[in-house]
Structure 1
Amino acid sequence: MPSSTAPPRSAHAPGRAAAVLTALAVALVTAFVLAPRLLAASGPGDALADRGSLVQAVREAFVTYWNSGDRDFSPELQQAVDYWFRYHVAKAVIAALLTIVLIALGVLLWKAYLRSGGLGTGRSAALASSGALVIVLALFSLAVVMANVQGAVAPFASLLPMLGVTAADGELGATLDEIRSRLAVHPGAGERAQPAIEVMISDFARYHIAMAVLASIVTVVLIGVSVLLWQRFAGTDPSDRRTRRVWAGFAVLSGVLSLPVLVVAVANISTSADPAPALLAFFEGGW
C-alpha cells in the first residue's frame, strides 16, 4: 500500500531551484570581486592589475599625454585605457548575469510566498523577507551593471578620478592647474583649444550620454513593469488578497523607482549637452 506521508516530488523543486540559484549568486558575487582584474590583465598591461600600479601608471601617462600636445593617447595611456575598458566589460557581464540570477530567485521566492497560505505565518514571513531582500540586491546589481557599462563606453573619463585632482602635487599638480585654467575659459574666442582638452570634454560627454541612455531605458522598463503589474492586480480575483497585495506592492515600487532613475537620465542629458563646466567642476573637486 503506497504511503500517504511522502511529499509530492514537485514540492521539493522550488527549494532545490532556490538553493541552486543562491549558490550561483554567491559564485557570481565572488567572481565579480576577483575575476575582472584577472580577465582585464589577460591582454596587454597585466602589471596594471594591481590597483596601486594602475593609479601610478595613469598619473604618469596622463602628464606625458598632456605635455605631448597630441590628440592621440600616448602608448602608456592607451594601455591603461584599454585595460580599464576590459575591466569594466568583465564587471558589467558578471553583474548582468548576477542580476538575471537574482531576478529569477526573487520570482521563485515570491511565487512560493503566494502558494504558502497554508504553511503558517512564520514560513510566509520568511519567504516574503527573503524575496524582498533578493529584489533589493537585484536592483543594486542592476545599478552596478549600469555604472560598469558607462565605464566601458567611456573608459578614459572613468579613469580620471585616479588622478586625485584635489591632492595632486608636483608635475601632475601643475598639469591639473593648467587644465583648470584652460577649461575656465573654454571655448576661448579665437583660441584653439589644446587637443587633449577636446578629447577629455568629448569622452566626458560620452560618459554622461551612456548613463542618460541606460537610465532612460531602465525608466521605460520600470514604467512598463508597473503598468503590467497593475493590470495583473486588476485581473486578480478580489478574494485573493495576498496575490493582489503582491501585485500592487511591486507595481507601486516599480513606479516609484522610475522617478529617481528618470532624474538621473535628465541630469546626464543636461551634462552631456554642455560638458565643459561639469568637467571643470570635476577637476576642481566638485564632482
Structure 2
Amino acid sequence: MSVPVAPSRFGRALGVLGALAVVLAAAFVVVPPTLAGDFADERDLREAFREAFVEYWRSGARDFSPALESAVDYWFWYHVTKGVIAALLLIVFVALGVLLWRAFLRARGLDAGRNVALASSGMIVTALGVFSLLAVMANVQGAVAPYASLLPMLTGGDTDGELAETLDQVRQRLAESLSGGGETPALAVMISDFSLYHVAMAVIAAVVAIVLLALNVVVWKRFARATDTRARRVSGSFGVLAALSSLASIVVVVANTTTAADPGPALSALFDGGW
C-alpha cells in the first residue's frame, strides 16, 4: 500500500498565497462600493455628484453642501478601501514573487519545462506586483484629495442643461483667474484641492522613488557578488526594472510638483476635456 506524499512547503505556500491573491483581487472590485456608502455604482455617484456640484457652484459658498459632502465622503472611503486591499495584494504578490524566484534559482537540476514555468510565473507575479503598487499610489492620492479626484466625472458623457451652463461658468472663472482676476470661494476650494491632489502624488512618487533606488543598490550589489549565471541574470533584470521604475517615479514627482505649483492651467485643461 502506497503512502501519499505530503505536499511540499513550496506547494503549500504557493497555494495559500495564490488563493489569497484571488480573494483579494475579487475584493478589490466588489468590496469598495459596498463599504464606502449608499451609491449603487459609479454611474449613480456621477449623477449625484453632478447635481450636487451644480447646486454648490451656484450657491457661491465655500463649504460643501450636504449632497456634495456625501459624494466626496463616499469617494474618500471608496479610495481608502481600495488602497488597503491593493496594499494587501502588493504584499501577497511580493511574497509570491520571492517564493517563485527563489525556487527558480534553486531549480538548476530540473527539466526545462519546470524552469520555464517558474520563470514565467515569476514574471507574471512581478508585473501584477507593479500594477498593485500603481493601484496603491492612485488610491492614496484619491483618498487625500477626493474632491479633485471626482472632478473628471463632470466633463465626460452628456453635459447638457444646467451642468453645461455651470461648466461654462467654471471655465470662464478659471480663465479670469489665470489672467489675474479674482477667485470665487467655490473656485478657490477647487483649485486648492486640485493642487493638493498633485502634491499627494508628488510625495507618494518621491517615497516610491527612494524605496526603488535603495532596492536598486541592493540588487546591483547582489549582481556584483553573484557567481552563478542564473542569479546574475535575475539580479540584473530586477536591477534594470528598479532603475527604470525609479526614473519613472522621479518624472512623476517633477510633473506633479510642477502642476501643484501652478494648478490653474491643468485644471482648465481638465474642464476643456484635455486633461
Provide the TM-score with structure 1 as the length reference.
0.91
Q: Which of 30, 35, 53 is the aligned partner of 1:39?
A: 35
Percent of aligned pairs sharing the same letter = 58
**Residue-by-residue CA offset, 1:204-255 (whole Å, 9 max, x unaligned):** 000001111111111111111111011111222x2x1111211111111111
Residue 219 of structure 1 is matched in structure 2 by 209
Aligned position for 1:210: 200
Q: Quote the offset at 1:163 in angstroms.
A: 1.1
Shift of 1:92: 0.2
Whether the 8 Å CA contact 1:166–1:284 is kept in 2: the answer is: no
Kept in 1: contact 2:176–2:182 (CA 8 A)? no
Distance 1:165 1:102 in 2: 34
Provide Cα deviations, 1:96-135, integer angstroms capped at 9, x if missing partner: 0000000100000000001100111111111011001000
> Does structure 2 conserve the Cα–Cα contact (< 8 Å) formed by 1:61 and 1:74?
yes
Structure 2 portions without partners, runs of 5+: none
Q: What does residue range 42-53 of structure 1 map to in structure 2 within 5 Å?
A: 46=38, 48-53=39-44
Corresponding position of 1:76: 67
Matched, 1:27 2:27: no
Identify if the C-alpha distance between structure 1 residues 165 and 34 changes in structure 2 by more than 3 Å, giving closer, same or farther.
closer
Equivalent residues of 1:230, 1:247 under 8 A apart = yes
Give how far 1:164 is off: 2.5
Distance 1:26 1:268, change over 3 A: same
1:246 corresponds to: 234
CA RMSD of aligned residues (A): 1.7
- 1:97 maps to what in 2? 88
Q: In structure 2, what is the equivalent of residue 277 of structure 1?
A: 265
Q: Which segments of 5 or more consecutive residues in structure 1 lack a partner in the other structure?
A: none
- Aligned-pair distance for 1:165? 5.2
Residue identity opposite 1:75 in structure 2: P
Alignment of 1:1-287 (within 5 A): 12-41=8-37, 46=38, 48-164=39-155, 167-187=158-178, 189=180, 191-236=181-226, 238=227, 240-287=228-275
Under a length normalisation based on structure 2, what TM-score does the superposition of the two structures give? 0.95
Residues in 2 aligned to 1:279 and 1:167: alpha-carbon distance in whole angstroms: 20
3-state DSSP of counterpart to 1:111: helix
SS in structure 2 of the partner of residue 185 of structure 1: helix
- Bigger mean CA offset, 275-284 vs 253-262: 253-262
State the distance in 1 between where 2:132 and 2:11 align: 23
In the alignment of these two chains, the number of paired residues is: 274
Contact 2:141–2:197, Cα closer than 8 Å, also in 1: yes
Q: Could you tell me how far apart the structure 2 residues matched to 1:74 and 1:124 are? A: 60
How far is the alpha carbon of 1:61 from its aligned partner?
0.3
The offset of 1:192, in angstroms, is: 3.5
